[in-house]
Amino acid sequence: GENVEQHPSTLSVQEGDSAVIKCTYSDSASNYFPWYKQELGKRPQLIIDIRSNVGEKKDQRIAVTLNKTAKHFSLHITETQPEDSAVYFCAKFSRAAGNKLTFGGGTRVLVKP
């Protein structure tokens, strides 16, 4: 019940198009869902997060949606730009599972100019 499944593993989009990454989990106790962006050779950086009492959160061109009933959450990037090319990781936090995040396997996003 601790795993996070992330899809797709790779995503290629044309500049200006939208990109969507989806993560699913199975335990009901998870209440915090962050997304990290990792550029080549760099550390993962938190880009947006959402808590279980909220269904959607937006920050400029990125948004995250959460469906607690279906146990999935998604990252949406609109009007993609070349600098959005990176690996994106979703994660979930559950106090019942210990004081740690459980990460998805990552999605490599390539934005083609």
Residue 16 CB, nearest distance to another protein (Å)? 27
Q: By C-beta, is 38 or 78 nearer to another protein? A: 38
CA 3 to chain centre: 14
- The contact set with another protein (CB under 8 A) reads 31-32, 34, 36, 42-46, 49, 89, 93, 95, 98-101, 103-106
Displacement of CA 78 from its chain's centroid (Å): 14
Measured CA to CA, the distance from residue 89 to residue 104 in angstroms comes to 6
Amino acid at 30: S
Q: Would you say 7 or 78 has its CB closer to another protein?
A: 7
Please, which residue, 61 or 95, has the CB nearer to another protein?
Answer: 95
Provide the minimum distance between the beta carbon of 103 and another protein in the complex, in angstroms, as a whole number.
5
Residue with tokens 């601790």, as numbered in its chain: 2
Give min distance, CB of 6 to another protein, in A. 9
Q: Which is nearer to another protein, 17 or 51 (CB)?
A: 51
d(CA 102, CA 60): 26
The distance of closest approach from Cβ of residue 21 to another protein in the complex, given in angstroms and rounded to an integer, is 14
